[in-house]
Amino acid sequence: MAIKNLFTGKPMTLQAKFTIYNTVSKALIILVFVAILPVIVEKIAYDHIDRRLTARGEKVLRIIQRGGIDDIVLEQDCSFESYSILKEEFVAIYPILKPSTKKPNIEIKNESWSIEGERLEHRIFRRQFTYDNQLYELNIGEGISNIEELKSTIQRFSLWIMLGIISISIFLDLGFVRLLLKPLNKIISSKLKPVPSPASFDFTSIPSSTFEFHKLDQRINEMMHKLKDAFQIEKEFITNVSHELQTPISIVQNRIENIIVEGNAPDDVVIRLTDSQRTLNRMSRIIKALLLMSKIENDQYIKTDVVKINELLEEVLEEVDDRLNQKNIRLYKNFYDDVELKPCNKALLFTLFSNLLNNAIKYNKQNGSITITTHQVNNKFTIEIRDTGIGIDQGEQVAIFDRFKRLNKNEAEGYGLGLPIVKTIAAFHNIDIDVTSDPEVGSVFTLSIN
Amino acid sequence: MNVLIVEDERSLSHEMEIYLTRQNYNCDVAFNGKSAAEKIHLNNYDFVLLDLGLPDMDGLDLLREARKKGSEATFIILTARGEVEDKITGLDLGADDYIPKPFSLAELQSRMQAILRRKHGLKTNIMSIQDFEIDIQNRTVICKGNSINLTKKEFDLLHYLALHKNRVLTRMQLTEHIWGDVLEDDYESNYIDVHVKNLRKKLSAQAPIEWFETVRGVGYRVNA
């Protein structure tokens, strides 16, 4: 599962992840260290004490062996006890009647020892030995209250020192990560930002001593170079095709015009020339339409206009007003909401709506109606153009936006590029387009702007 | 009016020359950028009709150069390149109009007239056809003191026919002028007929209009 920002739900930056990882991992190390530190301290302290006690025990036994027990056992009951002034250390020897079978001969353990009525925690070295057929028990003790103190002191100290070291280390890590990721951040900010076309891409290479970043930058540049070249080649191709096809049309078109103007041709020839002119015009329009779509797809149009949809619709309606009147079509405008589209290309959007409305008129019935509804629902702005025309068969609805699909087979002319143009312009502006239609009832074209 | 046609396609420049000469323009032709630049430098042209795709240089550079050298001619860019930036750059460089190829010669002439009117404020802003007066400035038609209420398209249609009076204009030429460069999926010449029908109805209500002729199978003509 990807770690995402808890507050925004968006993916986090690499630097933020590094920071969190660093902090958490180091905090864990501190916790574990501080938790096991007392155990280690205790172990070391006991180790020391135990060795010390064992050595002392050996020493006492050596003294007894050398000088006899009478030298030190002065008491009536043959026992001996000696304390240091603070009762932190003591040596005690007691005669015992019979050896304990349960206890080992030598043992070291913690015990509460009563010295002159005061009970204190001690580490006790206990050993049994025989002297003159008498069994004795040697106890050498050392106070351990200071170990607890030592434990908490070391724990406190080490906690502060660790915190200090880790703070410095996190600080240094952050600086380093920041420095390390600088080229990557620069690649992201300058190479991965959206550009209107590959031509406006910034090809300046971003210096980095990190192999991966260097490679990444290099590859992005190479890819964009290829893309730029492809776009350029297509652009030149479009320009050339346009020039090569439109120029001959232009020549013939103008020649026909001159022949008609000169007035020497017989009437029937003029009529046929006029027809030829129409045919040429049709061809030219097809070329223009195809080139228009190619140019849009080639990102040759710039989006710098700001357009209010309702205002634009009014402008288009003014243009088609005569056509509406000619077919006596009633127009209903339900402009509930408006939206400002920016950046956009106004001329293209004009063509989009003009094509849709002209279709709504062209395929409408005499005395029919067109209803235009604009409204905002949640974050979506929709424009609905509903006509009372001949409609589109269910089977044909998917194909209406395809190039060169003529729907109304009875039409003598027409080449069905109006809707493909609409779709291309819509896609260029990230506008979704949808159609629903009932044959003989009418069609509804819905544009959704997110 | 002196016109320089800068066009490397000889057939095309030839047709333009024939048409404009008939309309009483003095035409000169240059087939490449170099000779065009020389001609612009040496002569005072009212119009330079400039093709952008010249064999030896870009037409836009020629325009830039000519403007730098102080040419005050009216430049109209005629191009088949169809590049989106061309229009913007051309107009920025001081071209007065931009007409994509193919265009009709009638349309070219009407654009030239429009520029003349705009630039020099032609004295004759009113065209008369018998009882009718077409006021180009105010876009109104007046007959015997009565103003006739025409739609925008009806006015454009009448004005265009009057501008090319005594010449037949085909439905295609009229459509091109009225609907301009709007790319529709098809053009229906029928619309022109309906416009003409409505226009005639409005005009004939005021005075006889036998000057408004239908040329069968071709188009319409205003005889004056």
Q: Chain A: nearest CA to B70, how far in angstroms?
A: 30
Q: What are the backbone angles phi and psi of residue A359, rounded to the nearest 5°? A: -65, -45
pLDDT tens digits, residue range A108-126?
A: 888 888 877 788 888 899 8
Q: Chain B: nearest CA to A213, how far in angstroms?
A: 37
Do B201 and B218 lie in one domain? The reply is yes
Within 8 A of B60 by CB-CB distance, chain A residues are none
Residue A57 and residue A124: Cα distance in Å, rounded?
Answer: 11
Record: contact A253-B104, CB cut-off 8 A: yes
Confidence check: pLDDT of B187 > 80: no
User: How confident is residue B183, by pLDDT bands cut at 50, 70 and 90?
Assistant: very low
Do B79 and B15 lie in one domain? The reply is yes
B149 or B186: whose pLDDT is higher?
Answer: B149
Nearest residue in chain B measured CA to CA from A403: B185
Pick A358's closest partner by Cβ from B170, B184, B218.
B184
Confidence check: pLDDT of B69 > 70: yes
Do B86 and B151 lie in one domain? The reply is no
Confidence check: pLDDT of B125 > 80: no
Q: What are the backbone angles phi and psi of residue B72, rounded to the nearest 5°? A: -105, 10
Put simply, whether A298 touches B (Cβ < 8 Å) is no
Residue B159 and residue B165: Cα distance in Å, rounded?
Answer: 10
**CATH of residue B74:** 3.40.50.2300
Pick B185's closest partner by Cβ from A258, A302, A417.
A417
Do B191 and B93 lie in one domain? The reply is no
At residue B126, the pLDDT reads: 84
- ipTM here: 0.87
Do B67 and B157 lie in one domain? The reply is no
Pick B11's closest partner by Cβ from A246, A251, A358.
A251
Are B144 and B206 in contact, with CB atoms under 8 Å apart? yes
Do B133 and B152 lie in one domain? The reply is yes
Number of domains forming the structure of chain B = 2
Domain's final residue, options B90, B120, B150: B120
Q: Among A6-20, A175-189, A246-260, whose mean pLDDT is lowest?
A: A6-20
Quote the domain boundaries for residue B31.
Answer: 2-120
Record: contact B195-A300, CB cut-off 8 A: no
Mean pLDDT (chain A, rounded) = 86
Domains in chain A, CATH or no CATH each: 68-148 (no CATH), 211-297 (1.10.287), 305-449 (3.30.565.10)
At residue A240, the pLDDT reads: 85
pLDDT tens digits, residue range A159-192?
A: 898 889 888 988 898 888 888 889 998 998 888 8
Nearest residue in chain A measured CA to CA from B99: A250
Do B23 and B51 lie in one domain? The reply is yes
Put simply, whether A301 touches B (Cβ < 8 Å) is yes
Record: contact B217-A278, CB cut-off 8 A: no
Confidence check: pLDDT of A350 > 90: yes
- The separation between the first and the last C-alpha atoms of chain A, rounded to the nearest angstrom, is 29
**CATH of residue B199:** 1.10.10.10
Residue A381 and residue A430: Cα distance in Å, rounded?
Answer: 12
B115, B117, B121, B125: CA torsion to nearest 10: -170
Nearest residue in chain A measured CA to CA from B176: A281
User: At B16, which helix (H) or strand (E)?
Assistant: helix B10-22
Closest residue by Cα to residue B164 from B129, B139, B191, B193: B129
Record: contact A274-B80, CB cut-off 8 A: no
User: How confident is residue A5, by pLDDT bands cut at 50, 70 and 90?
Assistant: low
Do B70 and B149 lie in one domain? The reply is no
Q: Among A92-106, A201-215, B98-112, B152-166, whose mean pLDDT is lowest?
A: A92-106
Q: Chain A: nearest CA to B216, how far in angstroms?
A: 8
Do B99 and B183 lie in one domain? The reply is no
Q: In what order do the strands lie in the sheet with A442-449?
A: A330-335, A369-377, A380-387, A442-449, A431-438
Put simply, whether A403 touches B (Cβ < 8 Å) is no
What is the average pLDDT across B185-209?
Answer: 81
Are A350 and A315 in contact, with CB atoms under 8 Å apart? yes
Put simply, whether A261 touches B (Cβ < 8 Å) is yes
Are B73 and B45 in contact, with CB atoms under 8 Å apart? yes
At residue A413, the pLDDT reads: 47
pLDDT tens digits, residue range A287-344?
A: 888 888 888 988 888 888 999 999 999 999 988 888 888 889 999 999 998 989 888 9
**Percent of chain A scoring above 90 in pLDDT:** 29
Within 8 A of A270 by CB-CB distance, chain B residues are 168, 215, 217-218
Q: Among A102-106, A171-175, A256-260, A280-284, whose mean pLDDT is lowest?
A: A102-106
3-state SS of A286-317?
HHHHHHHHHHHHCCCCCCCEEEEHHHHHHHHH
Residue A229 and residue B200: Cα distance in Å, rounded?
Answer: 56
User: How confident is residue A97, by pLDDT bands cut at 50, 70 and 90?
Assistant: confident
At residue A412, the pLDDT reads: 46
Confidence check: pLDDT of A102 > 80: no
Do B111 and B7 lie in one domain? The reply is yes
Pick B185's closest partner by Cβ from A247, A350, A418.
A418
User: How confident is residue A414, by pLDDT bands cut at 50, 70 and 90?
Assistant: very low
Within 8 A of B176 by CB-CB distance, chain A residues are 281
Confidence check: pLDDT of B18 > 90: yes
Put simply, whether A406 touches B (Cβ < 8 Å) is no
Pick A274's closest partner by Cβ from B15, B151, B217.
B217
At residue B186, the pLDDT reads: 52
Do B195 and B162 lie in one domain? The reply is yes
Closest residue by Cα to residue A400 from A431, A440, A365, A445: A445
pLDDT tens digits, residue range B73-85?
A: 999 999 888 777 7
* A109 bridge partner residues: A124
User: How confident is residue A77, by pLDDT bands cut at 50, 70 and 90?
Assistant: low
Residue A136 and residue A96: Cα distance in Å, rounded?
Answer: 5
Record: contact B103-A242, CB cut-off 8 A: no
At residue B185, the pLDDT reads: 44
Question: What is the Cα Rg of chain A in Å?
Answer: 49
What is the average pLDDT across A348-353?
Answer: 93
Record: contact B217-A322, CB cut-off 8 A: no
Within 8 A of A319 by CB-CB distance, chain B residues are 182
Domain's final residue, options B59, B90, B120: B120
Nearest residue in chain A measured CA to CA from B8: A247
Chains A and B form CB pairs within 8 A to the count of: 150
Domain's final residue, options B81, B99, B120: B120
Record: contact B18-A258, CB cut-off 8 A: yes
Do B157 and B54 lie in one domain? The reply is no
Question: Tokens 């779709």 label which residue?
Answer: A423
DSSP-derived secondary structure for B56-93: SSBHHHHHHHHHHTT--PEEEEEESS--HHHHHHHHHT
